[in-house]
């Protein structure tokens, strides 16, 4: 009898092998897919059974058909491309200054005391409410859309970065001072690595916020983007197109979160992986 067979026999004697159902429900990826699929199946069933008015809530199968048709015609991809471009540019304009300012303010109590009240006062203003003012300053074109996305992203990333830096154990900074580390070295080797998990959390929240505001911003002064598609579909009462655009926005939101989590796993390798821990326990 080999060692491997011995191990299998011992485990088999102490506990039952989990059933396929138990293994599936214990798997994170299965549960992540199961919940939206179940919701769509319920929606489809309710629509086919006449519990939902199909004129206002078309069945997911017909929305899927429309999604395929719009993708094949290229129309949907053009709108998705414009929305992604606006989110990407706005995100960079918002996240980069937010990370820099968060790091600097986290390590500089004086600057923190000076700027934080002003930033905290502006933060609660709904970003969408600022859009008319932004259009007034930057016009109806692309710039106003980048700016509103940048503002929405800035606050999420800034506060997360600041929290990350301010939560650094004081002893690390004291050691840096004792060993004569320069300010740049303190930022690069202590503040930034320690704040990275917080920064990524802020980026995830910021991306979600970016999608929310870009969809609103695209309802003004443009003929492209998913926000325009939703608005136009409502204006011409093309309900299925509206659902297609809403579903694509949801998928983009989910996809961007997954991409950000993958990037975090790759960059912040020392952070324990929650998924694996759960599977292991």
Partner 1 sequence: MKLLKWCAVLLTAALCLPAAASLAADPVKVSVYQSVSDAGIYIAADKGYFAEQGIAIDLIQLDSVSSVVTALASGQMDVAGGAPSAAIYNSARQGIGIRVVADKGSMQKGGGYIGLVVRKEMADKIKSPADLKGHNVAWSGVGVGTTNEVALDHLLKSAGLKESELSLQNLTFGDSLAALASGSVDAAYLIEPLMQSAEQRGIGKILVTGDEMYPNQQVAVLLFGPDFAAKRADVARRFMVAYLKGVRAYNDAFRKDIDRATIVSILTKNTSVKKPELYEKMVMPGLNPDGKVNAEGMTADMQWFLSRGFLKEPVDVAKVVDNSFVDQAMKQLGPYK
Measured between alpha carbons, how far is 110 from 152 in angstroms, rounded to an integer? Answer: 26
Candidates 26-34, 94-102, 193-201, 226-234 — which segment interacts with partner 1 by CB under 8 A? 226-234
- The span from the CA of 209 to the CA of 228, in Å, is 17
Among 184, 237, 266, 270, binds partner 1 (CB under 8 A): 237
Build a one-symbol-per-residue string for 49-68: x at contacts with partner 1 by CB under 8 A, - elsewhere: ------xx------------
Q: How far from each other are the two terminal CA atoms of the chain, in whole angstroms? A: 29
Nearer to partner 1, 64 or 261 (CB): 64
- Least Å distance between CB 194 and partner 1? 49
Backbone angles phi, psi at 56, to 5 degrees: -105, -30
Residue 11 is encoded by which pair of tokens? 């485990």
93 CB-contact burial (10 Å; exposed 0-12 / middle 13-18 / buried 19+): middle
The minimum distance between CB 144 and partner 1, in angstroms, equals 14
Number of helices (H), then strands (E), belonging to the chain: the values are: 14, 0
Residue 48 sits in the site that holds partner 1 (CB under 8 A): no
105 near 160, Cβ under 8 Å?
no
> Applying CB under 8 A, does 223 fall inside the site for partner 1?
yes
Residue 74 DSSP symbol: T
Dihedral over alpha carbons 110, 116, 118, 119 (to 10 degrees):
140
Nearer to partner 1, 7 or 236 (CB): 236
Shortest distance in whole angstroms from residue 75 CB to partner 1: 8
In angstroms, give the least distance from the CB of 221 to partner 1.
7
Give the long-range contacts of residues 51-58, CB within 8 A, separation 24 or more.
Answer: 55/239, 56/239, 58/239, 58/240, 58/243
Q: Which two tokens stand for residue 227?
A: 């926000």
Q: Where are the beta strands (DSSP E) in 20-92?
A: none
Binding window for partner 1 (CB under 8 A); candidates: 116-124, 193-201, 209-217, 237-245: 237-245
The answer to the question of residue 230 lying near partner 1 (CB under 8 A) is: no
Q: From 83, 71, 129, select the one nearest 250 (Cα to Cα).
A: 83
Tokens standing for residue 57: 């809530």
Stretch that binds partner 1, among 42-50, 78-86, 109-117, 236-244 (CB under 8 A): 236-244
Residue 154 vs 231, nearer CB to partner 1: 231
Question: Would you state the structure tokens that stand for residue 15, as one six-digit string?
Answer: 């506990």
| Count of positions on this chain that bind partner 1 (CB under 8 A) | 13
**Contact residue for partner 1 among 25, 235, 262, 278 (CB under 8 A):** 235
Residue from 116, 238, 246, 261 that binds partner 1 (CB under 8 A)?
Answer: 238
For residue 260, give both structure tokens: 């950000």
Binding flag, residue 236, partner 1 (CB under 8 A): yes
- Shortest Cβ 236–partner 1 spacing (Å): 4
Stretch that binds partner 1, among 7-15, 105-113, 234-242, 253-261 (CB under 8 A): 234-242
| Residue selected from 162, 191, 213, 239 as contacting partner 1 according to rule CB under 8 A | 239
Site residues for partner 1 per CB under 8 A: 55-56, 140, 221, 223, 231-232, 234-239
């Amino acid at each position: 009898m080999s060692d491997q067979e011995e191990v299998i026999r011992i485990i088999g004697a102490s506990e039952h092998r989990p059933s396929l159902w138990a293994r599936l429900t214990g798997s994170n990826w299965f549960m992540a897919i199961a919940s939206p699929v179940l919701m769509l199946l319920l929606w489809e069933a309710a629509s086919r059974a006449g519990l939902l008015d199909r004129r206002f809530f078309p069945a997911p199968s017909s929305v899927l058909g429309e999604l395929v048709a719009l993708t094949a015609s290229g129309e949907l991809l053009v709108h998705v491309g414009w929305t992604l471009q606006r989110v990407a540019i706005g995100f960079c304009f918002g996240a980069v200054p937010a990370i820099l300012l968060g790091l600097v303010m986290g390590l500089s109590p004086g600057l923190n005391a000076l700027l934080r009240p002003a930033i905290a006062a502006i933060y609660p203003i709904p970003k969408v409410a600022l859009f008319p003012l932004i259009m007034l300053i930057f016009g109806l074109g692309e710039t106003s859309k980048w700016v509103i996305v940048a503002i929405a992203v800035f606050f999420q990333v800034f506060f997360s970065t600041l929290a990350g830096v301010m939560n650094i154990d004081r002893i690390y900074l004291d050691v840096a001072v004792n060993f004569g580390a320069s300010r740049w070295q303190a930022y690069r080797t202590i503040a930034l690595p320690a704040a990275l998990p917080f920064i990524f959390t802020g980026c995830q929240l910021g991306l979600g916020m970016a999608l929310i505001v870009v969809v609103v911003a695209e309802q003004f002064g443009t003929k492209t983007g998913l926000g325009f598609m939703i608005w136009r579909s409502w204006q011409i009462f093309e309900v299925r197109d509206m659902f297609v655009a809403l579903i694509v926005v949801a998928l983009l939101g989910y996809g961007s979160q997954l991409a950000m989590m993958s990037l975090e796993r790759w960059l912040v390798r020392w952070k324990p992986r929650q998924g694996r821990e759960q599977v292991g326990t």
